[in-house]
Amino acid sequence: MIRIGIFGYGNLGRGVECAIAQNPDMELVAVFTRRDPSSVKLINEAVPVYHADEVLSFKGKIDVMILCGGSAKDLPVQTPYLAEHFNVIDSFDTHAKIPEHFENVDRVSKKAGTVGMISVGWDPGMFSLNRLMAGSILVDGCDYTFWGKGVSQGHSDAIRRIEGVLDAKQYTIPVEDALERVRRGENPTLSTREKHTRECFVVAKEGADLQKIENEIKTMPNYFADYDTTVHFITKEELDRYHGGIPHGGVVIRSGKTGKDRENTHIIEYKLRLDSNPEFTASVIVAYARATYRMSKEGQGGCKTVFDVPPAYLSPLSGSELRKNLL
């Protein structure tokens, strides 16, 4: 049995708890939280919840600690801190800061002889892997990543910070025509606006200036100004009923040429359609937790990413079972 700990229990932590229950070679030992432990209710009530301050007393009792905090403030501190004492895995997803996070975790985990697996999920994660593999196969080609249709937490939060907004949900939607051009192998150059549209469902406070809110959304730099954005004002009840889920997904496409005269075109497409973004991310993390455990058992140490993991390490099946049934 691989003994797992969860550090941080929000949507992702809950997804990890569900995913562990699907994997019979894993056991959830404990959940750690910065909140009052008695206020945290797990799905499986038999699993104990401890305050984060008690985590070090579990050294030697947990094989892999799964960190479920946020990338902005939690993981940059927590992952290096815990990597000194445990094999760790996180879903750090601030792409621009991955090299820095890698260095920080690598320094600690190399010294401690632990494995620190970072940036696991679907982007970064499975999408990154597909960009790497498709690009290594079709050397002469172009990469395209489309996200959605799905909920962007960051964009929803940005709308909620606007004066007069009570609640909001934002969907990122790929432009179908752009997708089809890529799938046809046209290798188009696409602007930000040509790739995705943004659709916002907003609950306004009573008496708020709707025109002003809509204008603030549509002109918000970085978040919306470069996109064709649609804004719908709805009631809180409608938001909860029709937009309560956290679906997401997307597509990575590589289009490339081969042959003596580049006469042949090939399209590699990897596509995800996810009912629950955090639960799918959690499922990826749990498979990579198995790999983390195995790499640690082999004596490996240091920071790792999905690029470093032999795919066989993700599966509970043996090498010969995999070759017989899946190759």
1 binds its own copies, rule: CB under 8 A:
no
Q: Does position 244 bind its own copies by CB under 8 A?
A: no
* Least distance between its own copies and beta carbon 213 (Å): 32
The three-state DSSP-derived secondary structure of 100-165 is HHHHHHHHHHHHHCCEEECCCCECCEHHHHHHHHHHHHCCCEEEEEEECCEECHHHHHHHHCCCCE
Interface with its own copies by CB under 8 A: which range of 69-77, 80-88, 188-196, 262-270? 262-270
Which residues, including other chains, have CB under 8 Å from residue 293's CB and lie 6 or more apart? 2, 63, 64, 87
* Side chain identity at residue 130, one-letter code: N
Q: What is the gyration radius of the CA atoms in the chain, in angstroms?
A: 22
Q: Is 323 in the site for its own copies (CB under 8 A)?
A: yes
**From 45-53, 171-179, 235-243, 283-291, span contacting its own copies (CB under 8 A):** 283-291
State in angstroms the smallest separation of the CB of 273 from its own copies.
4
Q: Between residues 54 and 321, which has the closer beta carbon with respect to its own copies?
A: 321
Tokens of 315: 């599966």
Residue number with CB closer to its own copies (223 or 288): 288
Q: Which of 13, 20, 168 is nearest to 91 (CA)?
A: 13
Only segment of 125-133, 160-168, 169-177, 225-233 that touches its own copies (CB under 8 A): 125-133
Site size toward its own copies (CB under 8 A) is: 68
CB distance 133 to 321 below 8 Å: no
Considering only residues 49, 115, 117, 126, which one is a binding residue for its own copies as defined by CB under 8 A? 126
Q: Distance between CA 234 and CA 4 in Å, rounded? A: 42
First to last CA, the chain: 26
d(Cα 198, Cα 225) in Å, to the nearest integer?
10
As measured in angstroms, the least distance from the Cβ of 244 to its own copies is 12
Choice from 34, 149, 218, 266 touching its own copies (CB under 8 A): 266
Chain centre to alpha carbon of residue 125: 7
Q: Which x/- pattern over 73-112 shows residues binding its own copies (rule: CB under 8 A)?
A: ----------------------x--xx--x----------
Distances (CA, A) of 100 to 71, 92, 248: 13, 11, 27
* Residues of this chain that bind its own copies (CB under 8 A): 15, 18-19, 22-23, 43, 95, 98-99, 102, 119, 124, 126, 128-129, 131-133, 135-140, 183, 256, 258-260, 263-276, 279-280, 282-284, 287, 290, 305-312, 314-316, 319-320, 322-324, 326-327
